[in-house]
Amino acid sequence: MPRLSQKIGVYQEYLPHLSVDCVVFGFNENGLKVLLLKMKHREEWALPGGFVGQDETVEAAATRVLQERTGLEQVFLQQFHVFSDPNRSEGNSASSGDKQAAAWLNQRFITLGFYALVPFDKVKPQPDAISEACTWWDVEAVGSLLIDHNLILKKALEAMRLQLRYQPLGLNLLPAKFTMPQLQKLYEIILGQTLDRRNFQRKMMDYGILHRLEERKTGVAHKAPYYYKFNKQRYKQALKEGLEGGW
């Protein structure tokens, strides 16, 4: 009987049974977004993912997948969970008649989940070889995804909520300058709860990671809010040392 590596041909450069899946989050005025792929010959959408090269770390593989789908480099990328259900790949067979692809995809795959926080307006979504489209979706509008990708998305959101309890979040999701209502909206969407405006602003300013600009937002009906920027040095320090208090 031929070995698996002999049957999969072009896939020999990758490690069998191991993959990475990336939950790519972006944020704009309309809310939190997630990047999804429309698979060829299938109705389902899926998270961007890929395989791990024979001489590649899983972190390097996830970074490569992220760069290929977004065109970005040096973004926040965090491993958050391992998905190892023996039956997680059921129904993932290739339907295009490609026997090599079918032999490869029908293996059992253990996947490592990573979530990425990227600037929405700088991403240039690109499909991969087995997808026909790559686009942003509202997190709340995502329907049924391929295999266990709904679970992976759910776990990624839980990981971000946990991050908010001890680390800052927003530098990679918001524009260079933003208003306090924008920052609060981001936190509320991720946490899934409404936050008191005054308490939120006081807590964020107490962290010492924000710098208020003299410029105000124009074209608003009510009192124009000030713009803010992150103090990148203090932000990076807070990522290492953590923040006091929680939400």
In the prediction, which pLDDT does 3 show?
A: 42
Give the pTM.
Answer: 0.87
Tokens of 130: 């087995």
> Is 160 within 8 Å of 115 (Cβ atoms)?
yes
In the prediction, which pLDDT does 2 show?
A: 38
**pLDDT digits 0-9 by tens, 198-245:** 999 999 999 999 999 999 988 776 789 999 999 999 999 998 888 876
- Domain ranges, ordered by start, for the chain: 4-164, 178-241
**pLDDT digits 0-9 by tens, 82-141:** 999 998 877 565 445 567 777 777 788 999 999 999 999 999 999 988 899 999 999 999
**C-alpha to C-alpha distance for 28 and 119, rounded to whole angstroms:** 9
CATH number listed for the domain at residues 178-241? 1.10.10.10
Tell whether domain 4-164 is in CATH 3.20.20.70.
Answer: no
Instruction: Give the percent of the chain with pLDDT over 90.
Output: 69
CB-based contacts of 113, cutoff 8 Å, min separation 6:
20, 21, 23, 79, 80, 81, 82, 83, 152, 155, 156
Residue 8 has pLDDT above 70, yes or no: no
Mean pLDDT of 33-37: 97
* Residue carrying the six token digits 């259900």: 85
